[in-house]
Chain A
Amino acid sequence: MANKPKIKGAEALLLSLIAEGTDTIFGYPGGQVIPIYDHLYHFTDRINHILTRHEQGAVHAAQGYARATGKVGVCLVTSGPGATNLVTGIADAMLDSTPLVCITGQVPCSLLGTDAFQEADTISMTMPISKWNYQVTQASEIPSAIARAFYIARSGRPGPVVIDISKNAQVEEFDFSYKPCIYLRSYKPHPELDLTLIDQAVQMINAADKPLLLVGQGVKLANAESKLLEFAEAAGVPMASTLMGISAVPNNHPLFVGNLGMHGNLAANEMTQRSDLIIAVGMRFSDRVTGDVKNYAPNAKIIHIDVDAAELNKNIKVDLPIHADAADALEAMKRGISYKDRSKWMAVAAENNKKEYEDVVLPSTDPQGEYISMYDVISTLAEVEKGNAVIVTDVGQNQMFSARYSKFNQTRSFITSGGLGTMGFGLPAAMGAKLGVPDREVVAIMGDGGFQMTMQELGTIMQNHIGLKMIVLNNTYLGMVRQWQQLFFGKRYSFTQLENPDFPSIAAAYGIANRRVERLSDLKAAIQELADAPGAYFLEVDVLPEENVFPMVPAGASLSDTICKE
């Protein structure tokens, strides 16, 4: 047997990433990762490295890529500030169960703990916000660390993994061989399905008059979308979505009743309160979904299916917790289910949709046809894109309008920072999503505040010719905080007004096609132009400065106390 030549840790890292199916890395070079970048130079045929303009952009792009594709997002940054700049994205990925492998450089192991130049204790800093992390200080550890990183990131409830690699490990030579990780004795990501619990669930569902399925992102993460629809159709049970679950169920599905929570639809929230049986799948009863937990779903028994046992009985006491993968549970439940006509129950949805349309939607559009509501922008975009686009949002009013009025025909089409609510997420995440699904239309919807947190990524879009469509809803305010100040803080707009630059000029400076619209009559043509653009396109829409998102469940209030107007 011929002796294989020894290779350096840096090359071993890239070969390990390729072995795990990585084709795209979002990164930013720096002193402690130069050896990795040196090898990357020779791997451009196999790895598409995207140079972002800030490490935060790299991690959000990796998140967008992961959320759009279902694959593990990978980012690569240097030690110290490179690593600290990832922290927001790692925390975001942790709360939103996004599979990431974040590779950070580290000072040589002989200098660990000495306050060396660009040394930061990345392991300690990322420990509580990552699913797992590990520090590599010898080249020989690299293959097994990467193998475990991918296995842990993508299995069970996915999440971010941080691998911190000291510089000496990048340059040491060793005999490389790669073996994927498929088992760790202390880690059981795939729970065994307890069929007695499934039987109990089926009996409860068959007996229920007003059941409601709550669909969370877990359905997407388990690739259980079609199993969910088959189950819901077989049972005749309506479905409502959490913010993170949006697009798992097509909007036009006859059993879909809308979105849950603080800015959800009246129908979904009202049906939660009237339901006699909630079947929650792959969601975690976030406070934004439940409102006041004491008055949540007061008439319902609750079945909660989740792959993460720590979520069961965490926020809401449930009657039947089922620790299971969503796909396994939905498939098993379908077997015993019997169809029940629940048209009377579904009529509650229709009645609330009518009320919401009259109280909230209809008054949104300016009858004079002059001023532009955020509703006009999102609903026009949905009409033009026919529900086929991937919508990536920033955080705030732009996010809630996008969630409320976008339309989706296929899954993994709504990408948003749900748990952490990270402003600045939208642009880089959308960039990553577009690189992940280049054949799909991807539109980033941002506010003027959030856009300015990461707008340097326009440079990444320019350099890599990323055909991303961007819409900035400019109301010259940090709109969501302003809304709270208006409604709950006596209209004291404390530091929420922004004096903005000429956004189209900024896009123009990056060579990106651009336009601004100020009048409703110009909106549709502008959005059509955006959709028709062959490459990147930037649209600023000047919207009503003091528009609010309704309906709204005020923080801490019960879902029954939804408000529809000021």
Chain B
Amino acid sequence: MVKEYIVIAFTENQIGVLNRITALYLRRKINIESLKVSESSIKGISMFVISAFTTQEIIEKLVRQLRNIVEVIQVEYYSDDELITQEIALYKISSKIVRESGMVDMIIRSWNARIIEMNPSFVVVEKTGTREEIENLRTELETRKVLLEFTRSGSVVLHRESMENTLNQL
């Protein structure tokens, strides 16, 4: 069954590692839906969060091949319900919402977002949440024809159990 799998990899923070990792997805013709790379809680070790749709059989084989990359320290895969996942999104909204009564209030209170910039032509709103929550606000704004631009991050994740325990032994 094809579903979303999130691969979390800890690697040496070195040049080329990103290409090595994505090359293995490319080889099996798996499209990467989202990708986030940043330094982990340990200095010098990068954390990759890669989400892609595939089957369990393929993701298992892929993860074993990812482990073979010399700079890769640890790799596991998860289905999204095993992880605490949040994304951040920015919405550039037409400034006409300011003139519509209750609109700003709706965005901020009901959607738990905040305004980070406001000028005569547009308002920028920031929201963190699950991908679904972020998409719902997007749909809402699109329906009201006020969304000018939209961008969102890849997933920021934490496992419910600790993932970095084994890394601390390094």
Contact = CB atoms under 8 A, between A and B. Distances in A.
A310 interface: yes
Nearest to A314: B61
A186 B23 contact: no
B30 interface: no
Contacts of B65: 310
Given A131-B70, A152-B70, A314-B61, A185 B170 contact: yes
Contacts of A313: 60-61
Interface stretch (B11-19, B32-40, B101-109, B137-145): B11-19
A186 B19 contact: no
A45 B11 CA distance: 42
Contacts of B24: 128
A127 B11 contact: no
Nearest to A311: B64
B79 interface: no
Given A127-B16, A127-B20, A314-B61, A184 B70 contact: yes
Contacts of A187: 70
B71 A186 contact: yes
B64 A186 contact: no
B68 A308 contact: yes
Contact of A310 (B11, B16, B20, B68): B68
Given A123-B16, A127-B23, A314-B61, A185 B73 contact: yes
A494 interface: no
Q: Which one of B11, B12, B64, B170 has the greatest number of beta carbons of chain A within 10 Å?
A: B64
Contacts of B16: 123, 127, 133
Interface in B43-78: 60-61, 64-65, 67-68, 70-73
B27 A186 contact: no
A310 B60 CA distance: 9
B18 to A, nearest CB: 11
Main secondary structure of the interface of A (DSSP, over half): mixed
Contacts of B23: 127-128
A127 to B, nearest CB: 6
B27 A128 contact: yes
A124 B19 contact: yes
A242 B24 CA distance: 27
A154 to B, nearest CB: 13
Contact of A309 (B19, B67, B73): B67
A186 B20 contact: no
B64 A127 contact: no
A132 interface: yes
A133 B16 CA distance: 9
A310 B67 CA distance: 8
A127 B70 contact: no
Contacts, number: 40
Contacts of B73: 185-186
B8 to A, nearest CB: 15
Contacts of A128: 20, 23-24, 27
A135 B14 CA distance: 12
B71 A127 contact: no
A185 to B, nearest CB: 5
Interface residues of A, number: 19
A128 B170 CA distance: 27
Nearest to B71: A186
A313 B59 CA distance: 13
Contacts of B61: 310, 313-314
A325 to B, nearest CB: 16
Contacts of A185: 12, 73, 170
A185 B73 CA distance: 8
B30 to A, nearest CB: 14
A2 B168 CA distance: 42
Interface string A460-496: 0000000000000000000000000000000000000
Nearest to B72: A186
A97 to B, nearest CB: 12
B119 to A, nearest CB: 38
A186 B27 CA distance: 23
Nearest to B167: A185
Contacts of B67: 309-310
Contacts of B15: 135
A494 B11 CA distance: 50
B38 to A, nearest CB: 18
B16 to A, nearest CB: 7
Nearest to A152: B70
A163 to B, nearest CB: 13
A131 B70 CA distance: 8
A124 B15 CA distance: 11
A195 to B, nearest CB: 22
A309 B71 contact: no
B138 to A, nearest CB: 35
A186 B12 contact: yes
A127 B67 CA distance: 15
Nearest to B17: A186
A64 B68 CA distance: 25
B48 to A, nearest CB: 13
Contacts of A127: 16, 19-20, 23
A420 to B, nearest CB: 15
Interface in A84-136: 123-124, 127-128, 131-133, 135
Interface in A133-189: 133, 135, 152, 184-187
A310 B66 CA distance: 9
A185 B60 CA distance: 23
Contacts of B20: 127-128
Contacts of A310: 61, 64-65, 67-68
A539 B55 CA distance: 54
A123 B19 CA distance: 10
Interface of A: 123-124, 127-128, 131-133, 135, 152, 184-187, 308-310, 312-314
Going nearest first, the 8 A-B pairs with the smallest beta carbon separation are A310-B64, A186-B73, A128-B23, A132-B70, A310-B65, A187-B70, A310-B68, A186-B71
22 contacts: A123-B16, A124-B19, A127-B19, A127-B23, A128-B20, A131-B70, A132-B70, A152-B70, A185-B12, A186-B11, A186-B70, A186-B72, A186-B73, A187-B70, A308-B68, A309-B64, A310-B64, A312-B64, A313-B60, A313-B61, A314-B61, A314-B64
Given A127-B19, A131-B70, A310-B61, 20 more contacts: A123-B16, A124-B19, A127-B16, A127-B20, A128-B23, A128-B27, A132-B70, A133-B16, A185-B12, A185-B170, A186-B11, A186-B12, A186-B71, A186-B72, A186-B73, A187-B70, A309-B64, A312-B64, A313-B61, A314-B64
